[in-house]
A = this chain, B = another copy of it.
């Protein structure tokens, strides 16, 4: 069984050579983060991912989390791994130092997260959800909530969850029905059912802190009447010790296509007296607070896509090197070769590799912007960075996860018939990846957010800025003396024209023909993902070109990078014009079909 290896060389390339570490090192609290320290952190994380999390991944898939009488047992080995995880301080990596977090910038912690996801997505989900809950309490919780929960959640002693979905309220949270009755002493009694709660119940820690959307009695209808509550599994005494069991119960866990080891709980709040809950922030502003967590979680799910893609690529690459089958095309004498010699296998591997590297670099670009948006001293830079973050989160989420599904499927394809056999391991990656385009907002929801709130609302300003940035990189490529890079520049230039045409269509039609624009929202998200990935691959090609000119002795890496960028330009950027045509002209039939004609 081949285990996951953290792609340290490429991660270092993105941080150090694409300049994202330098970008955040200017920020307050980050000046001690030199390349060596980051390399040490990534190296240790890589060891943990490889040695502890990856070996549990297959077993987690086969055994799965188990429900019995309201209790959930995680897979054998999970508790020990979790203990080592929090003992190592990994849970606190990006958290606030004020509460014993390590305060690492997002651009570094995102790469560490990529490792957890690549090695064992079912495991990685637990700290990911905890982090979201931490952020909500930290940003909007009362002093009592912060003092009671933050330190234990940051250390990982307790975990956190996000309780949004109900059977009738999935993408549409306006339909949330869970009720919260004020007790009179500032607390509330919560009653209702929540579904799809990741790690909603488990045996890893002695307490679980649920963040729950619910309605107070006089709340307005719809999204403006939803409040956010902290509902712990066990009540907490003022000295921090655990008190009575709260009235929240795990009614069952789901039987899913993938991420079997991650328990997905149905939670029943208030079967008896009502679960005690504490309001976060103000009443009726719960959705706003939830979206703080949600945006962070969406970015993290995008990073899941990167990690799973890397994992699927590593497995397929190893198989392609090992598996001997057939002779080389055009060879004069028949001799059996490893299948990596077959052009179609190479095409599939390059498709996996080039997209994975583009997604990784793009996620880091956005993570660095998150850091700048949070910490930069210049408010103008903060604002500009936040605009990029807002624009690109749906793309990082939607594009990286759609890619991950396709890349995991290609990973199976490279294995031939063996790919369909569960013991091979390739199939699990597809089953696991398949959730990522669904949770934390489907790709359709990301795309609707992208065209509406992120592009039409500011009249295309933020995306115009991005487009200019990409244009400058394209010019740099075009000015090199290398015909290959010039060809990349042409592909990127054509792609930019197609992007700009799509944006113009969206901005000019969103108000008057919103359904027509919405019909092309997902193709547009894919288009923007490909162009933004192309921007990062173009930057990578420029760096590789300079390194090779300067006589770097890491020839294989940089030549591979150049060719990967070339492939991306030839085969990914080539799709952009078709996508643009679909965005601009593809909606007629979508809008004209009557429901009964389907």
- Residues on A lying within 8 angstroms of B by beta carbon are 165, 168, 170-172, 174-175, 196, 222, 254-258, 317, 320-321, 324-327, 329-330, 334, 336, 338, 340-347, 349-350, 353, 405, 409, 412-413, 416-423, 427, 430-431, 434-435, 437-439, 442-444, 447-448, 484, 514-516, 518-519, 521-523, 556-557, 559-560, 563-564, 566-567, 570-571, 574-575, 577-578, 581-582, 585-598
In the complex, are the beta carbons of A256 and B421 less than 8 A apart?
yes
Which of B421, B574, B586 meets A582, CB within 8 Å? B574
Known A-B contacts A347-B522, A420-B434; the reply to A588 vs B575 at CB < 8 A is: no
Task: Rank and list the top 4 A-B pairs by shortest CB-CB distance, nearest first.
Answer: A560-B597, A567-B589, A343-B519, A344-B444
- A439 contacts B417, CB within 8 Å? yes
- Interface contacts beyond A570-B585, A577-B578: sample of 19 additional A-B pairs, CB < 8 Å, sorted by A: A170-B418, A255-B423, A257-B412, A343-B515, A343-B516, A343-B519, A346-B593, A412-B434, A413-B444, A419-B438, A523-B571, A556-B597, A563-B592, A567-B586, A570-B581, A570-B589, A574-B578, A574-B586, A575-B578
| Chain A, interface SS category | helix
**CB of A319 to closest CB in B, whole Å:** 12
Inter-subunit contact B416/A350 (CB<8 Å): no
Find out whether the CB atom of B556 lies under 8 angstroms from the CB atom of A594: yes
Contact present for A417 and B165 (CB under 8 Å): yes
Given contacts A325-B171, A438-B419, is CB(A593)–CB(B563) below 8 Å?
Answer: yes
Chain B residues with CB below 8 A from A521, complex form: 343-344
Closest to A592 in B: B563
Contact between A438 and B421 (Cβ–Cβ < 8 Å)?
Answer: no
From B170, B320, B447, B571, give the contact of A325 (CB < 8 A).
B170
Cα–Cα, bound, A518→B419 (Å): 22
Residues in B whose Cβ lies below 8 Å from that of A516? 343
Given contacts A171-B325, A590-B346, contact A317 B598 (CB under 8 A): yes
Residues of B within 8 A of A570 (CB): 581-582, 585-586, 588-589
How many whole Å from A318's CB to the nearest CB in chain B? Answer: 10
- Distance A439 CA – B196 CA, assembled complex (angstroms): 35
Q: If A326-B171, A590-B350 touch, does A442 touch B413 (CB 8 Å cutoff)?
A: yes
Q: Given the interface contacts A518-B344, A563-B592, A597-B556, does A196 sit within 8 Å of B417 by beta carbon? A: yes
Other-chain residue from B258, B347, B419, B444 in contact with A342 (beta carbon distance below 8 A) = B444
Smallest beta-carbon distance A186→chain B, Å: 33
Asked whether A346 and B519 contact (CB < 8 A) given A255-B421, A438-B419, the answer is yes
Report whether B413 and A438 are in contact in the complex, using a CB–CB cutoff of 8 Å: yes
The answer to whether A409 touches B417, judged by C-beta atoms less than 8 angstroms apart, is no
Q: Is the CB of A170 within 8 A of B416?
A: yes
A405 touches B409 (CB 8 A): yes
Q: Which residue of B has the minimal Cβ distance to A340?
A: B595
CA distance A412 to B515 in the complex (A): 23
